Amino acid sequence: MTTMQVAVLRGIQELAIEERPVPEPGPGEVLVRITAVGVCGSDVHYYQHGRIGDFVVERPMVLGHESGGVIAGVGAGVDASRVGQRVSIEPGVPDLTCPECLAGRYNLCPDMRFFATPPYDGSLAEFVTVHAAFAHPVPDTISDDAAALLEPLSVGVWAARKARISAGSRVLITGAGPIGLVATQCARAFGATEIVVSDLNPHRLKLARDLGATATIDVGATPLADAGFEPDVLLECSGHPGATGDGIRALARAGRAVLVGMGDDLPLPLTHIQSREIELTGTFRYANTWPAAIALAESGRVDVDTLVTGHFALADSEAALLAPERDPLAVKSVIDPRR
């Protein structure tokens, strides 16, 4: 096969299927035949608005960064026995030489080449190439969908680590989208004993309870301030300014707030943060999370397959992007470029 199909964002709300040459793996790289791509909120945002903050789509870009597949070829310096190996792709390849990389914080590398983040193409394609070290082998007990969804699971693992969740932690998770739902499971796996999830969507709140939340709050009916829960940890997964402020105000003294959802600038309750010595930090992707994510998925401690509510062919990528908007029961769409 010398050519392949890819899903290209040509402009705002303009997605097209194009034919491109199959890429050749360079030195230290592998060629992966993609078997599953999860649709992320960032893909939807680029499709709807053409930008996320400072990241602006200025030329056609292939979407998708939650992906897994099978190694179909290797470049120079890579063990040829890896051909045929099932892998999950860590979609951000850093330069590996900057101070952040050398300190182990490669997610903060200023020269990161991250799939489907302008100007770099993503994985909504039949084949992609990636640095061999970022194509993580997965066991056969993990489904193709789960191999792709180790990427959002890694966001949950990173958030739990940043929050220092441990045995006995009391955790509030604002937002029951896919990231909030994996964060719920990670909080439980990391030892939290009380996990309260807030959202407006009753279906997603039920799913949160099914996946390990000890309680949920429908903030359309009960504001967080009236819920009577004072957590040690806030994992803010919605990106909504109101949820962020309310979540911070709910924290106990010396609590920790970790901002996971991508949102715009917002006013912060600084008096509350200062008087209670609240720790506040953001997260940006992840670093060194795939081994833990694989172990959690393989052991069954985290179930990402349950999040999948629709499967789509590459030609139906636009429908996959619009699924959450059209169906309130939709949680996670997965695209199979082989279909």
Residues 40, 204, 150, 185: what is their CA dihedral angle, to the nearest 10 degrees? 150
Q: Please say if the pLDDT value at position 264 is more than 90.
A: no
What does the block give as tokens for 82?
């890896």
Q: Please say if the pLDDT value at position 338 is more than 90.
A: yes
Mean of all residue pLDDT scores within the chain: 97
Give the chain's end-to-end CA distance (angstroms, integer).
16
Q: How far apart are CA 274 and CA 232, in angstroms?
A: 16
172-186: average pLDDT = 98
Q: Please say if the pLDDT value at position 227 is more than 90.
A: yes
pTM: 0.97
Residue 239 CA, distance from chain mean position: 13
Burial class (CB in 10 A: 0-12, 13-18, 19+), 79: exposed
Q: How far apart are CA 270 and CA 272, in angstroms?
A: 5
- The strand pair at 14-21 and 86-89 is best described as unpaired
Give 283-314 pLDDT, tens digit per residue: 999 999 999 999 999 999 999 999 999 999 99
Q: How far apart are CA 116 and CA 37, in angstroms?
A: 12
